[in-house]
Each structure stands twice: as C-alpha cells, then as structure tokens.
A and B are shown apart, each in its own frame.
Chain A
C-alpha cells in the first residue's frame, strides 16, 4: 500500500520559502499569483496492517513538527 502524507505550515506561520518562490514566479513573468506556501510530500510504502492510527503517530512523533506544521494523510 502507498500512503501520501502532506506536511504544511500552519496558518499564520510565516513561510519565507513560499515568499521566495512567489517572488521567483513573478520574476518569470507570471502575474495573478496571490500567495505561495511550500510544504512537504512524504510517500510511505507499507503493508496493509499499518493502521491509520500508526500513520498519525508517525506524523505527530516525527514527520510533522506540531508547533508549526499540520499534516494530512491520503491513502490510495
């Protein structure tokens, strides 16, 4: 099985990388882009016995820093 985990910065946490990417997009001549926020995609291949609860624990204990980040778990 494959699970995709999206880790993103919480609302209200400044994202200097997203800002720099936004600036670069505008530098390429694209207009109409309001905001860019950068996150991380983690793909996990695992056996079906790995539960959603296990995946959530992986997120809270390691994959996301709950002080600044949220996560979403997407199972195929």
Chain B
C-alpha cells in the first residue's frame, strides 16, 4: 500500500496523519508539498491533513484548494483513488469541489477543542467499513470553522444516498443535521471534521480512530 499526505503552508496535523497511516496500515507514506504538480505513482490513499493552510486567509481551505497539488488530487479522486480530508482537509475538499457544501464559522463563534461522540451512519465505504451503522464512537475535534452548511436539497440527497458518514451525537458547531463527515457520490472521498488520527493509540484515550485506518487497510490491501 502507498499513501501520500499533502502538506500546505500552515498544515499542522500532517505528521500525525502520516504516522497513523504508516503505523496502522504499513503503507509507504510520502509527504507531498503543496507546490508539487504531480503525485507519486501508484497511490492507494491520499490524505489532506488538518491545520490552518495559508493562515485560513480568504476562507478556510480556499487558497489550498487552488494550489498546484490539488489539481493532481482532483484528477486522482476522479480515477477513484481514496481521498481522506480531516478538519482543514475537509474544508479544502469542499472548496475544491470534491465534496458538496461548505464549512462555516462555528455557530457559537468559539473554537471547539474536545472529544465528541459521533454516530456512524455509513459502514459500507472504503473508510468506514471498520465501524457498524448506529455505533457510537468518540473522536476529538479542534476547529473554528466546522459548521457544515448545504442547501436542503443537497442535504436530502446526501442522506438519501447514504453519503453522511458520521453525525455528531451532540451538535457542537451548528452543523446542518449534525453532519460531521460526508462522502462523495462515488464514495472514494471522505471529508470529516473530527480527527481519527488523534484516537489511534491507547495513550490518546481511545482507539476509535484507529478502526478507520484498519478498515482502509482491509479494503485496499
């Protein structure tokens, strides 16, 4: 298995993501700088990590979504390569048009940084096969712009097509219909605000994030 983690100026979860992927899946994991015009060959997984790419200038994820490497990520996603965007990565994927909707400022204005309960809504995707529908898991969030917005037709479509991957057990940021993570129509792109890479070792206080990477390994390998 081969994986790439994209680094933008201001990414800060890139190393944690690379360590989680490498340790859990054994993938040969490469960090790829945002200016790169091409990705390594034969990738089985692309991860867009959390952080504050380009200082959140203009809108969270807006500048990163237009960087050279994202053109290559979009092409790879269209070929079916699994793309995982966490936190700022989710914001970047919506800004790049790979996922519908937008992440707006948290309804309560405050930065929210704590472990939250999530309900698993989809256990059939390449990312979520390690879980069971209806299961409650605990994963940390840390964001200021996690308030998921989409018009009601889009929300109905996402729900109807089983593309809501996770919902917040308790709405921490104002997200429409408590949505914490969404899948692309083809199912190979997942964006989520919670950080699975921060719940992968006992010392993190839980292993619920680890199962996402274990599920990926089973699906890909």
- Which residues of A are interface residues toward B (Cβ below 8 A)? 13-14, 16-17, 20, 61-63, 65, 67-68
Contact = CB atoms under 8 A, between A and B. Distances in A.
B27 to A, nearest CB: 33
A17 B149 contact: no
Contact of B102 (A16, A17, A61, A65): A65
A17 B105 CA distance: 8
Interface stretch (B58-66, B120-128, B131-139): B58-66
Contacts of B149: 13, 67-68
- The secondary structure that dominates the A interface is helix
Contacts of A16: 104-109, 147, 174
Q: Size range of the interface on B?
A: 10 to 19
Contacts of A14: 104, 107, 174
Chain B contact residues: over half helix, strand or loop, or mixed? loop
B55 to A, nearest CB: 15
Contacts of B147: 16
B109 A67 contact: no
B152 to A, nearest CB: 10
Given A13-B104, A14-B174, A16-B174, A65 B95 contact: yes
A63 B107 CA distance: 23
Interface string B107-123: 11100000000000000
